[in-house]
Amino acid sequence: MALIGAFKRLLGDTAVLTREQDLAGITEDWRGRFRAPALCAVLPANTEQVASIVRLCVENGTPVLPQGGNTSLCGGATPSELSKPPVIILLTRMRRIRSIDPVNNTMVVDAGCVLATIQETAAAADRLYPVSLGAEGSCQIGGNIATNAGGTGVLRYGNTRDNVLGLEVVLPDGSIWDGLSALRKNNTGYDLKHLFIGSEGTLGIITGAVLKLHPLPKAEAVAWLAVDDPQRALDMLGLFQAACSSRLSAFELMNARQIELVLEKVPGRRCPVERIDTWHVLVELSDTGNAEQLAATMQAVLERALEDGVISDGVVAASEAQRKAMWLVRHSVSEANKKAGVGLTSDTAVPVSAVPSFIEGAMAAVHAIVPDLPFVIVGHMGDGNIHLIPFFTFAEWDALGDRDAVAQRIRRAMNDVASSLRGTFSAEHGVGRTLTGEMSRYKPPVELTLMRAVKQAFDPKDLFNPGRVLPSPSIATSHRGD
Amino acid sequence: MALIGAFKRLLGDTAVLTREQDLAGITEDWRGRFRAPALCAVLPANTEQVASIVRLCVENGTPVLPQGGNTSLCGGATPSELSKPPVIILLTRMRRIRSIDPVNNTMVVDAGCVLATIQETAAAADRLYPVSLGAEGSCQIGGNIATNAGGTGVLRYGNTRDNVLGLEVVLPDGSIWDGLSALRKNNTGYDLKHLFIGSEGTLGIITGAVLKLHPLPKAEAVAWLAVDDPQRALDMLGLFQAACSSRLSAFELMNARQIELVLEKVPGRRCPVERIDTWHVLVELSDTGNAEQLAATMQAVLERALEDGVISDGVVAASEAQRKAMWLVRHSVSEANKKAGVGLTSDTAVPVSAVPSFIEGAMAAVHAIVPDLPFVIVGHMGDGNIHLIPFFTFAEWDALGDRDAVAQRIRRAMNDVASSLRGTFSAEHGVGRTLTGEMSRYKPPVELTLMRAVKQAFDPKDLFNPGRVLPSPSIATSHRGD
């Protein structure tokens, strides 16, 4: 085909993948849920090559799909069977740390850099790049930015959005926007950077970025708390914020069922507190200052909370090994849940103050569909981001009649409760292809109209990751307008 | 006129201002530099009325100009003689604190709330709204958001942009976008909020906002340092960041001439250190923790810096009165400069690491135009935001031949040096009407094209604050493309 020939002349034969076996891991998402054909995959070595590829695709009317580490949880980075087979642009070869400026606390990177490489490069310069998430060993920064990745550092450092100062983007007309600004203050027109962040490849292909770095914390204090209910966890969060301000770097909530599953399913894990039948909180403080002061602050907050009855138990990690052991329990959650059964995870965020109402309301709504269904609950409570997981054993799940319909009803019930509290159905995973129906249901029509106007202005031919993020206008109906 | 009649029917007679004497303070900016006629000024009481006003204007082809506290430094909030006389929408009557949620750390406000009222309301709830600037007693939050206001809290808390979670906006078609989200995490499509922030009324009229609150700091430590040059000030900034992380809340640089002017022109000010012929730094730490620890940290950093020769002198404020006296010197800068002569202030930001190069390079470039011209220098060094002020006595200024041309050449010379260091000509003041020429000169054509596409998509009739932010395409030329 002419387009493939043109790519080979541009990039060399080895940088254009067309064979079934070479495309297998690229045209399917990592969980094996979505798979559709691509015309080919191409491996540009630099931004100019990306721009040339885009120009060839646009001339040809062929869709363009950028792919980073292919770690999307909602089918955002693999082809859709709803559009013509796209050209997949892999950023893998573009993995240069372009420069680092420890005085300005910034790093300029290619979009294909793996997140862990960026974290390590920052640490080697005595700085912190604070975004951290499960896929960090393979996900790429371009994908992180295109999806505004969250993770465990959000409470203190914000989402990926808050840690990007500038971008380089190849636009749908094949031109290159050099927005690689490393400034903290710049009030000169519309902030285009924020439009591309979180746009999931539908407005342009991010090829480079200026990242914000932070002082590397030198001290940490970690504690494990037992609380009677989510409201008391919330009270505890308030005590920590008042006493520790931005030293509070994690505040993770888990229910008893979640801890039980970890202890049952993952060898070597143990619960840091004696009673398991409570709610659990992992709290972390971190600071550039000295460790003794930090430990003393942690101790003082916990003593007061115990006295006041806010917590029923609390253990401060006395060593690095104990800190690691506590975090291991939290990090074993996915493994345990996967082994234990089928969970219909929500990716809810609500105002932090509404977390107890959300948990109570969403559980009741789900129980109206499947009475007495157990819930596993884990979340970044400090951000109001709760993964509420109606949980089936494998046997229960297999015994269900129409599983897809049940799953759909349950998810909708949880999202409706979140929406009634002005929460969101996608706190950190993005929209991709799986949640465009939710966009129709929960977004006000005015907002969808504005988003479509932006898409039309940037990508009038609808060739950039078509069918993602925005629902097709014909099927748009508003929940709020009901 | 029919439009005015329609406004009176909608709002009542007293909410429509048409008389010369009522419009005088509205059609002219507060410094008396810009003045042009308006059709009228209207005072809506709520968001629905703003939307009705916009619909009437659009039907009529009449431009719409929102005005907050009228404190713009670049003519952004007053009519332009280049367009038809606009309808000025005053948000003054919309000044309700709609709600405050101390647990979620958010506050929902009408756009017409005065910044100081918001700060006080937050403080009464034991919270901090951290944006603070000279005009805070009269500027309105809607204007702060529309211009992404900066100020003295940026080093720790970011610009206004970083402290807004959601917006309510009346769009150029008269519809209302309810984007009043109070969430920390929400990855559901394009982030429209960030488009409106900093758009200076050209894309929509902000009528309400959800603001982010922070724990109220309970302890402060302030010191005054003498350093030999800007590079040593930068070294000092690095020491504070490593030792204090986000406890560092201000790092303000001033040169000797600036201190001399304050001491000469403002009664009752005294220099905290003995030697005046150095560069001066005001540094502030703040924290929710105890004051003794904070003072000890400050002391430790300064002792090490003195030993290592990074600073030549340093004084820690020993009392609240001394802290205030130090800040008074910094806050007397504008008064002193106004009394002493004519300064051609730049609003430069460069990467923090480039501040010494910028100061040196820009001074040399100006001296090539006016040899030996003195400079007053004051800036938020921690943000890379430097106000470099080539300074004329009144007599020198009056003796100049073509003052406008000289001012223009001098500003251009400074902005060219900033641009060569990838800096900006407007760090915090915005573009308004005075800097659209700089937009043409310094912005890459690709970026201007994208901004115009956004403007066209949102306001196809070009009725919202026309002629601001974006230069007219016909006169666009690119400096970088030269």
Q: Which residues of A touch B422 (CB under 8 A)?
A: 180-183
**Structure confidence by residue, pLDDT tens digits, A27-63:** 998 878 888 999 999 999 999 999 999 999 999 999 9
Residue in A with minimal Cα distance to B355? A104
| CA-based nearest distance B148→chain A, Å | 7
Distance from CA of B413 to the nearest CA of A (A): 18
Mutate to test the interface with A, among B133, B161, B169, B184 (most CBs of A within 10 A): B184
In a domain, A427, yes or no: no
Q: What is the pLDDT of residues B37-62, one digit of tens each?
A: 999 999 999 999 999 999 999 999 99
Render pLDDT for A79-90 as a digit per residue (tens, 0 to 9): 988 889 999 999
User: CA-to-CA distance for B354 and A48, rounded, in angstroms?
Assistant: 28
Query: Is residue B462 a contact partner of residue B402, using CB atoms and an 8 Å limit?
Result: no
Partner residue opposite B191 with nearest CB, options A185, A188, A198:
A198
Confidence of residue B70 (pLDDT cuts 50, 70, 90): confident
Lookup result for tokens 């042009």: B36
Same domain, A364 and A282: no
Instruction: Report if residue A426 sits inside a domain.
Output: no
Quote the pLDDT of residue A478: 40
Q: Measured between CB atoms, which of B243, B297, B457 is closest to A457?
A: B457
Give the amino acid at B107. M
| Closest alpha carbon to B33 in B433, B354, B362 | B433
Interchain proximity B187–A171, CB inside 8 Å: no
CATH code (residue B32): 3.30.43.10
Q: A450 and B353: CB-CB below 8 Å?
A: no
Instruction: Determine whether the interchain pair A353/B101 forms a contact, defined as Cβ–Cβ distance below 8 Å.
Output: yes
B393 to chain A, closest Cα gap in Å: 30
Are residues A75 and A122 both part of a single domain?
no
Residue A405 in any domain: the answer is yes
**A198 has a chain B CB within 8 A of its CB:** yes
Number of residues that make up chain A? 482
Q: In angstroms, what separates the C-alpha of A370 from chain B's closest C-alpha? A: 28
pLDDT at residue B83 is higher than 90: no
Q: Which of B420, B471, B161, B74 is nearest to A185 (CA)?
A: B161
Token output for A86: 């796209």
pLDDT given at position A474: 54
DSSP SS3 for A291:
helix
pLDDT of B72 higher than 90: no
Q: What is the pLDDT at residue A327? A: 94
Looking at the complex, does the CB of residue B214 fall below 8 Å from at least one CB of chain A?
A: yes
| Other residues' Cβ atoms within 10 Å of the Cβ of residue B405 | 10
Window 115-144 of A, Cβ < 8 Å to B: 126
Digit-coded pLDDT (tens) for B202-244: 999 999 999 999 999 999 999 999 999 999 999 999 999 999 9
Whole-angstrom Cα distance, residue B48 to residue A305?
46
Does residue A159 sit at the B interface (CB-CB below 8 Å)? yes
Among B189, B215, B241, where does a domain finish?
B215
Q: How many CB atoms lie within 10 A of CB B24?
A: 10
Cα separations (Å) of B203 from A135, B13, B175? 38, 28, 12
In chain B, which residues have their Cβ closer than 8 Å to the Cβ of A384?
104, 183-185
- Residue at B481 is within a domain: no
Chain B residues within an 8 Å CB radius of A213: none
Q: Tokens 């925005």 appear where?
A: A470
How high does pLDDT run on average in chain B?
94
In A80-218 the beta strands, taken as DSSP E runs, fall at 87-90, 97-101, 106-110, 127-128, 164-170, 176-179, 205-212, 214-215
- Sort out which chain B residues have CB atoms less than 8 A from A435's CB and list them: 188
Residue from the list B106, B183, B427 with its beta carbon closest to the beta carbon of A185: B427
Instruction: Report d(CA B191, CA B161) in Å as an integer.
Output: 12
Between residues 76 and 105 of chain B, which touch chain A (CB distance below 8 Å)?
101-105
| pLDDT < 50 positions in chain A | 475-482
Same domain, A345 and A312: no
Give A472's DSSP letter: P
Chain A partners within 8 Å of B424 (Cβ): 181, 183, 185-188
CA B310 to chain centre: 31
Let me know if residue A210 belongs to a domain. yes
Name the percent of chain A lying above pLDDT 90.
Answer: 88
Residues of B in contact with A352 (CB under 8 A): 103-105, 184
Interface test with A, best of B160, B188, B470 (most A CBs within 10 A): B188
Contact (CB, 8 A) for A112 and A94: yes
Going by C-alpha positions, the residue among B40, B1, B4 that lies closest to residue B20 is B40
Q: Does B239 contact A at CB distance below 8 Å?
A: no
CA distance A51 to chain B (A): 13
Q: How many CA atoms lie within 13 A of A109 on its CB side?
A: 29
**A297 and A355, same domain (yes or no):** no
A293 — contact with chain B (CB < 8 Å)? yes
pLDDT at residue B399 is higher than 50: yes
Tell me the pLDDT tens digit for each residue of B233-254: 999 999 999 999 889 999 999 9
Residues A312 and A357 in one domain: no
* pLDDT at residue number B182: 98
Exposure letters B295-313 (e unless 16+ CB within 10 A, then b): bebbeebbeebeeeebbbb
Out of B278, B306, B331, pick the residue that ends a domain: B331
pLDDT at B481: 33
Tokens of A338: 């996967």
Do A202 and A459 touch, CB atoms closer than 8 A? yes
Nearest CB partner across the interface for A427, out of B104, B185, B245: B185
CATH number reported for the structural domain that contains residue B291 in this entry: 3.30.70.2190
CATH of the domain at B378: 3.30.70.2740
Residue from A188, A237, A240 whose CB has the most chain B CBs within 10 Å, to mutate: A188
* One domain for residues B44 and B125: no
A210 and A227 in a single domain? The answer is no
Q: Reduced to 3 DSSP states, what percent helix, strand and coil does chain A have, rounded to the nearest 5?
A: 40, 20, 40
Residues B244 and B310 in one domain: yes
Q: Structure tokens of B272?
A: 């905290």
3-state secondary structure at position A337: helix
Test B182 with A447 for CB contact under 8 angstroms: no
Shortest CA gap A139–chain B (Å): 17
B297 interface with A at CB cutoff 8 Å:
yes
Among B183, B427, B435, select the one facing A349 at the smallest CB separation: B183
> In this complex, is the C-beta atom of A470 within 8 Å of any C-beta atom belonging to chain B?
yes
**Which of A105, A185, A429 has its CB closest to that of B154?**
A185
Distance CA B374, CA B147 (A): 31
Nearest-CA residue of chain B relative to A418? B183
Please count the structural domains in chain A: 5
Strands B87-90 and B40-42: parallel
**Model pLDDT, residue B73:** 80
Q: What is the 3-class SS of chain B, one letter each residue?
A: CHHHHHHHHHHCHHHEECCHHHHHHHHECCCCCCECCCCEEECCCCHHHHHHHHHHHHHHCCCEEEECCCCCCCCCCCCCCCCCCCEEEECCCCCCEEEEECCCCEEEEECCCEHHHHHHHHHHCCEECCCCCCCCCCCEHHHHHHCCCCCCCHHHHCCHHHHEEEEEEECCCCCEEEECCCCCCCCCCCCHHHHHCCCCCCCCEEEEEEEECEECCCEEEEEEEEECCHHHHHHHHHHHHHHHHHHEEEEEEECHHHHHHHHHHCCCCCCCCCCCCCEEEEEEEEECCCHHHHHHHHHHHHHHHHHCCCCCEEEECCCHHHHHHHHHHHHCHHHHHHHHCEECCCEEECCHHHHHHHHHHHHHHHHCCCCCCCEEEEEEHHHCEEEEEEEECHHHHHHCCCHHHHHHHHHHHHHHHHHHCCCECECCCCCCCCCHHHHHHHCCHHHHHHHHHHHHHHCCCCCECCCCCCCCHHHCCCCCCC
Instruction: Please check whether residue B481 touches A, CB under 8 A.
Output: no
Pick from A126, A289, A426: which is nearest to B297 by CB?
A: A289
Q: Supply the range of the domain harboring residue A375.
A: 341-420
**Is pLDDT at B475 greater than 70 in this prediction?**
no
Residue A30 tokens, joined: 């990592």
Query: Could you tell me if A177 and A245 lie in one domain?
Result: no
Asked if B245's CB is within 8 angstroms of A451's CB, the reply is: no
Query: Closest approach of chain B CAs to the CA of A238, in angstroms?
Result: 7
* Distance to chain A for B182, nearest Cα, Å: 6
| Residue A136 structure tokens | 């960090």
Calculate how close chain A gets to B270, using CA atoms only, in Å.
31
Q: Are residues A294 and A319 in the same domain?
A: yes
Q: pLDDT band for position B187 (50/70/90)?
A: very high
**Token output for B152:** 């003295």
Cβ of B423 within 8 Å of Cβ of A453? The answer is no
* Pick from B126, B352, B469: CB nearest A104: B352
Per the domain annotation, does B410 fall within a domain? yes
Question: Which residue do the tokens 């981001």 mark?
Answer: A385
Say yes or no: B322 and B392 in one domain. Answer: no
This model of the complex carries an ipTM of 0.95
* Percentage of chain B modeled with pLDDT above 90: 88
Query: Pick from B168, B188, B215: which residue ends a domain?
Result: B215
Q: Is B425 on the interface with A (CB under 8 A)?
A: yes
User: Is A376 within a domain?
Assistant: yes
CB distance B315 to B224 below 8 Å: yes
- B105 assigned to some structural domain: yes
Cα end-to-end span (Å), chain A: 49
Of B104 and B434, more confident: B104
Distance from CA of B185 to the nearest CA of A (A): 5
Looking at the fold, whether B86 and B101 belong to one and the same domain comes out as no
- Unique residue bearing structure tokens 């209302």: B176
Backbone φ and ψ for B166, nearest 5 degrees, come out as -155, 160
